[in-house]
Amino acid sequence: MLEGVQNDFPVLKNHPGLAYLDSAASTQKPSVVLDAMDHFYRFNYANIHRGVYSLSEQATASYEAARMRIARFIHAKSPENLVFTRNTTESINLVAATIGESMVREGDEIVVTIMEHHANFVPWQQLALKKGATLKVVGIDRETLELDMAELASAITDKTRFVCCTMASNVLGATPNVAEVTRLARKFGALTVFDAAQFVPHHPLDITSFEPDFLALSGHKMLGADGFGVLYGKSEHLASMPPFMTGGDMIENVTIEKTTYSQPPQKFEAGTPFIAGAISLHSAIDYLENIGLDRIQEHETELARLADEKLRAMGKVRLYRNANRIHNGILPFNVEGVHPHDVATILGDMDICVRAGHHCAQPLIHFMDEIAMIRASFYLYNTEEDVERLVAGIQKTLEVFHK
Ligand SMILES: Cc1ncc(COP(=O)(O)O)c(C=O)c1O
């Protein structure tokens, strides 16, 4: 168990008694991250890349240092493989709107999984509709709730252009075997797009172990600021892709007749970016690595398993994950005979923050024959006390609805 971490998080100190179990939606921020942003705005703020005065040069250096730090964190070959975006959603839209637009033709196929967050589903669905391509949706095993690898293997054909897969489901916590997904895609020359939004904050990641073509993440889900995300892309793709947006900061030369573009990653970073967001993620990664991703994963897994055990013992609570498959902090459940929103409201009144609904994964919720689910998600700052509070909240719910 991680001790004393909560003290690093002002929101948790300012709300004693709060059980924040919604980190899969967004995480709280430690003081070091807030201080890094504050310091930048108070002492070093200027726009990047354009100024030749020292404040601007310092801001540029901090922005680019963040790129190096994030590259090192995920083991990318070069910082130039990283494009800064607003979030995972924008990162994936960027891929679909550039290389997706140029590669996918009528009759082609795009493979996604039923587990995808809408961010890695809707852009591909829309691209397929626009191009007259087929969207193939690979299911999960109903018993294990893991990706059905046999179905994936038969879904990928020589018509497949993209295989788009989550690295960790935001609803189920399942983590597909991405090395195998990549191997299957590559056999037919399809490109891989991995949604790592829910994986990177909770599991150590070394992309050299599976060499994705593209991978997306969001800073706000890993202690950084909201509104800052990252797209990793292989150099050969980034070099040949057309720009996503055009305007300032992404050009090499503009005349009345035509424009030439900067090299990647600048080619994909039109306009003034969220500089402090990059700085926040740099600081967040330092903080996370200082504690250790493996320790964080172990901690949140222990809490999720403890909650699973206690809720299961109460009866009338349906826990979806197989206890021995829980290896991160995501715990989806429902209370028999009570609408998930009613459960979340009772918990909310007790300062227990969970999420209820379709979790931006409607195809998965339909596949599971549910209308909605409740999700508790644990992170490094949660404690056994938070588990006790959740259990007390569910006890209260049962008392209210099963009198
Ligand atoms: C698995 C997954 N992918 C993508 C997203 C979208 O992230 P963002 O809203 O930061 O773009 C989320 C957010 O909940 C997520 O959990």
Q: What's the confidence (pLDDT) of residue 1?
A: 77
Atom of ligand 1 nearest to the CA of 91: 11
The question of whether 164 is a catalytic residue gets the answer no
Tell me: pLDDT of 156 over 80. yes
CA 117 to ligand 1 centroid distance, Å:
7
Q: Quick one: pLDDT at residue 205? A: 97
Give the distance (Å) from ligand 1 centre to CA of residue 313.
Answer: 32
How far, in Å, CA of 360 to CA of 358, rounded? 5
Does the structure show a pLDDT above 80 at 403? no
User: Which pLDDT band, with edges at 50, 70 and 90, does 274 fall under?
Assistant: very high
Q: How many angstroms does the Cα of residue 255 sit away from the middle of ligand 1? A: 39
- Contact partners, residue 53, CB within 8 Å, separation at least 6: 46
The residues near 106 (Cβ < 8 Å, ≥ 6 apart) are 131, 132, 133
Calpha distance 142→9 (Å, rounded): 38
- Distance of alpha carbon 196 from alpha carbon 73, whole angstroms: 13
Which two tokens mark 285? 């990664």
The token duo for 163 is: 């295989």
On whether the CB atoms of residues 113 and 329 are closer than 8 A, the answer is no
Mean pLDDT of all residues in 286-297: 97
**How do residues 85-130 score in pLDDT, each as one tens digit?**
999 999 999 999 999 999 999 999 999 999 999 999 999 999 999 9
Ligand 1 site residues (CB inside 6 A) read 24-25, 87-89, 117, 119, 166, 170, 195, 197-198, 218, 360
Residue 12 DSSP SS3: helix
The 355-357 sheet, strands edge to edge:
317-319, 330-335, 373-377, 355-357
Choice from 93, 221, 280, 377 to test ligand 1 binding pocket (greatest atom count within 8 A of CB): 221
355 Cα–ligand 1 center, Å:
14
Neighbouring residues of 280: CB distance < 8 A, sequence distance ≥ 6: 29, 33, 36, 37, 219, 224, 225, 228
pLDDT tens track for 221-251: 999 999 999 999 999 999 999 999 999 999 9
pLDDT at 227: 98
Select from 170, 202, 362, 364 the residue to mutate for testing ligand 1; criterion: most ligand atoms less than 8 Å from CB.
Answer: 170
Average per-residue pLDDT in the chain? 97
**Residue of 147, 175, 223, 360 best suited for mutating to test ligand 1, as the one with most atoms within 8 Å of CB:** 360
pLDDT above 70 as % of the chain: 100
Q: Letter for the amino acid at 8?
A: D
List the domains of the chain with CATH numbers: 5-22+292-401 (3.90.1150.10), 46-289 (3.40.640.10)
Measured in angstroms, how far is the CA atom of residue 307 from the centroid of ligand 1? 24
Q: What percent of the chain has pLDDT over 90?
A: 97
Mean pLDDT throughout 148-176? 98
Mutation choice for ligand 1 from 22, 117, 226, 328, CB with most ligand atoms inside 8 A? 117
Fill in the DSSP letter of residue 96.
Answer: I
> Kindly report the CA angle at 198 between 194 and 199, in degrees rounded to 5?
70
Atom of ligand 1 nearest to the CA of 198: 1
For residue 273, give both structure tokens: 């970016």
Question: What whole-number distance in Å separates Cα of residue 316 and Cα of residue 337?
Answer: 8
The tens digit of pLDDT for each residue in 313-354 reads 999 999 999 999 999 999 999 999 999 999 999 999 999 999
pLDDT at 51: 82
Q: Which of 164, 165, 353, 360 is catalytic?
A: 360
Atom 14 of ligand 1, residue of closest alpha carbon: 25
Nearest atom (ligand 1) to Cα of 229: 10
pLDDT of residue 240: 97
Distance 91 CA to ligand 1 centre (A): 11
178-208 pLDDT, tens digit per residue, is: 999 999 999 999 999 999 999 999 999 999 9
Burial 344-377 (b: 16+ CB within 10 A, else e): bebbeebebbbbbbbbbbebbbeebebebbbbbb
Shortest-distance Cα residue to atom 7 of ligand 1: 88
Q: What is the pLDDT of residues 16-34, one digit of tens each?
A: 999 999 999 999 999 999 9
Residue 402's pLDDT band (cuts 50, 70, 90): confident
Nearest CA among 32, 26, 25 for reference residue 7: 32
CA of 32 to the centre of ligand 1 (A): 24
Q: Whose CA is nearest to atom 16 of ligand 1?
A: 170
Whole-number Cα distances in Å, 281 to 9, 10, 201, 252: 16, 17, 11, 28
> Cis omega before residue 10 (within 30°)?
no
Distances (CA, A) of 389 to 97, 117, 291: 45, 28, 25
